[in-house]
Structure 1
C-alpha cells in the first residue's frame, strides 16, 4: 500500500476579548494581512499541493466555517490534491449529501472524500440540533452511508429505515457514474469498528489510541464483511534540522499557547513522542493547572528522527497520515522541503 500524507487545515480560533484600541497616532486601520479567511486557507491548500502532499482535510469546526464549502473552494483551486470534508451525519439527508458530493466529484475529477464524525460530545451535538445519543448515532450513520451509496449507484432506489426513507431515488446524468467519496471513520468502540468494517475506506486512529489492538480488532471484523479499510493516523508534527532546534521550537509553541515554562514536558529522545500538542482554553485561564488542555501526543525531533517514527507506523500497518502542523503555511513548506523527501523511498517502493 502506497503511503499517503494529508495536511489538516486550520480552524479559526475564537478570541476571548476584543483587541485593545490602537494609539491615536495610528491612522491606517487596515489589517496587516489583507487576505480574507478563505484566502488564508487557500494559501495553505496551495502550499500542500506544492509540497507534494497527497491531500488536505477540512476539519469539522462546530462554530466555524462549513467544511463542505471550504472543500469546494479548495478543490476549485487545486489540480491534484484530494480534499476531505469532515462532517457529522446530522447535517443533511444522505440524498442531499450524495448529490452535493457527486457535483464536487464531477467538477474536481473525483478528488473529494468524506470523514464522518459520529460521536460528538453532547453539548456540541445539541448545539448542532442533534439529540441522538449512544448506539443510535451509529445506527443513523449506518443508514446514512447505506442510503448515500444506494442513491449514488442505483436508479429507482427505495429504502425504509428508522431514520431515513427514500422512494424512487437515485442520481441520474450528469451526476451519475462518479466515484463515491472515500469514507474515513474513526473510534475504538465496538459500534465504531463494526461501522468501519462495513463502510469505511480509511479508519483513522490517534497516537493515544491502542493502535495494534485497534487494527487487530478491525481486521477480525473485516473477515466477516469481506472488505478491510486501510489504516490512518492523526499525527501532529514539529520537525527541525536537529533535536535541539525542535525542542526549542516546541517550547516556544508551548509558551505561546499558554503553557508554563516550568511545566514543559520533554520530547522523548528515542521515539520523538511529545505530549504537548493540543489547545489550552482560549480565555487564558489556567485554573486547571499549567497548560491545561495540552493532551495531544505528536512527534517532535529532527527530520530524520520523525521520518524514522513514521516508518515505524508504516511497519505496524498504517498507510495514511493526517499531519497537523502550526503555523500551517510555513510548516507545510518545511514538510515538503525536508521531511517528505526522506519518505520518498517508501512511496516509490510501495508504488
Structure 2
C-alpha cells in the first residue's frame, strides 16, 4: 500500500486497484476500511456480475461512494474469463452470455444510482420491483472501468465503460486497440478514456534496471509449477491472453517494452513491462500518452504488486504527465 505517497504528497488522489478472485478477501469489506485510512486514496474496486443481484451491488457501491466522498471510487466490472473461478462462486453462465448479463447489470445499477423514485426492473437475467435507494452516489454515477479484447468486450466497453483498461502492449498494438474501441463507441456518442497496465523495472542505469528484471525472471523460473494461480488458470482461454502472447517472439519492443514475463507467465498477471532508467521509462510513457492513454496502472517485481520503490517515480509521473 503506498502509504508514504499518501502521507507526503499534497494535492493528488492516488488510486489503487483492488482485484477480484473467488480466492481472495471480499473487497466490498476491505475497500471501506482502506477509504477510512486516507482522504488521498482512490480505489478501483473490481466486481464480478453474477455474485449478487445488481440492485444489491448498486446499494453497496452507492453507500460506499457517499461515505467515502465523491470522486474516490470507481468500479472495475469483470465479466470473467476464468470458468474455474466463476464456478467457485456457483456461477456457470456460458461465456457467450456474460457480456449480455454485464450490460443489464450495469444498466440496472446506473438506474438505481440516478433514479430518485421507485422503479421496477425486468430483463433477461434479473427482476426487481419497487426499487428505491435512499443513499446514492454523490454524483449520481460511479465510473465504470473494464477491459477485454474480444468483440463482445469491445462492444460492451464502447457502450458502458468510462475507462477502458488495456494490458500493456508495444506502441503500435496499443494504438490499434485504442482506435478500435473509439470507432465502436461512435455509434453510442461516447468517448471512453483509456488506462494502460504495466509492470515497471527501474534503475539508476539501464543495466541496473535490466538486472532487476532478469532477477525477477529467474525467480519465477526457479519457482516454476509452484504458483497456484497460474496452475489453476493454465487452461483458461481468452482473446486478450492470446494477444499478449503474440508479442513474445520479440523480447524487446520500441525503446524499453519487455515481453519476457508475458512469455514466462503465459500472458497473465499484468506481465508486460517497461525496463530502464526513470528518464527512459518516462519517455516511453509520454509516447503512450500521445497515443491517447489517459491513466496508468503500475506494478513491479516478481508478483506484480505495488512496492515503495515506485513512489518517487509515480509522483513524478503525476507532475509531468
TM-score (normalizing by structure 2): 0.81
Q: Which residue of 2 aligns with 1:168?
A: 130
Q: Which residue of 1 aligns with 2:25?
A: 65
CA distance in 1, matches of 2:39, 2:162: 23
| SS of equivalent to 1:89 | coil
CA contact (8 A) 1:138 1:191 kept: yes
Alignment of 1:209-248 (within 5 A): 210-248=173-211
Matched, 1:49 2:24: no
| Structure 2: stretches of 5+ with no match in the other structure | 224-248
CA distance in 2, matches of 1:79, 1:318: 26
Match of 1:306 among 268, 281, 301: 281
Match of 2:144 among 183, 208, 216: 183
Alignment of 1:244-283 (within 5 A): 244-259=207-222, 268=252, 271-277=255-261
Structure 1 48/120 Cα, relative in aligned 2: closer, same or farther at 3 Å? farther
Structure 1 60/147 Cα, relative in aligned 2: closer, same or farther at 3 Å? same
Matched, 1:128 2:89: yes
- 1:218 Cα deviation after fit: 1.4
| SS of equivalent to 1:318 | coil
CA contact (8 A) 1:307 1:339 kept: no
CA contact (8 A) 1:274 1:299 kept: yes
Matched, 1:326 2:301: yes
CA contact (8 A) 1:233 1:320 kept: yes
Structure 1 329/257 Cα, relative in aligned 2: closer, same or farther at 3 Å? closer
CA contact (8 A) 2:202 2:275 kept: yes
Match of 1:148 among 106, 109, 112: 109
Q: Which residue of 2 aligns with 1:97?
A: 57
Matched, 1:87 2:47: yes
Structure 1 341/162 Cα, relative in aligned 2: closer, same or farther at 3 Å? same
Which protein, 1 or 2, shows the higher relative CO under an 8 Å CA cutoff with sep ≥ 6?
1
CA distance in 2, matches of 1:193, 1:330: 27
Match of 1:158 among 120, 137, 162: 120
| Structure 1: stretches of 5+ with no match in the other structure | 1-43, 280-290, 347-351
Q: Which residue of 2 aligns with 1:21?
A: none
CA contact (8 A) 2:63 2:137 kept: no
CA distance in 1, matches of 2:292, 2:80: 25
TM-score (normalizing by structure 1): 0.74
- 1:257 Cα deviation after fit: 2.5
CA contact (8 A) 1:62 1:128 kept: yes
| SS of equivalent to 2:200 | strand
Alignment of 1:114-125 (within 5 A): 114-125=75-86
Q: Which residue of 2 aligns with 1:29?
A: none
| SS of equivalent to 2:294 | strand
CA contact (8 A) 1:203 1:230 kept: yes
Cα offsets for 1:277-309 (capped at 9, x unmatched): 369xxxxxxxxxxx5647632111111111111
Q: Which residue of 2 aligns with 1:31?
A: none
Higher mean alpha-carbon deviation, 48-57 vs 163-172, is at 48-57
Aligned length: 287
Structure 1 183/332 Cα, relative in aligned 2: closer, same or farther at 3 Å? same
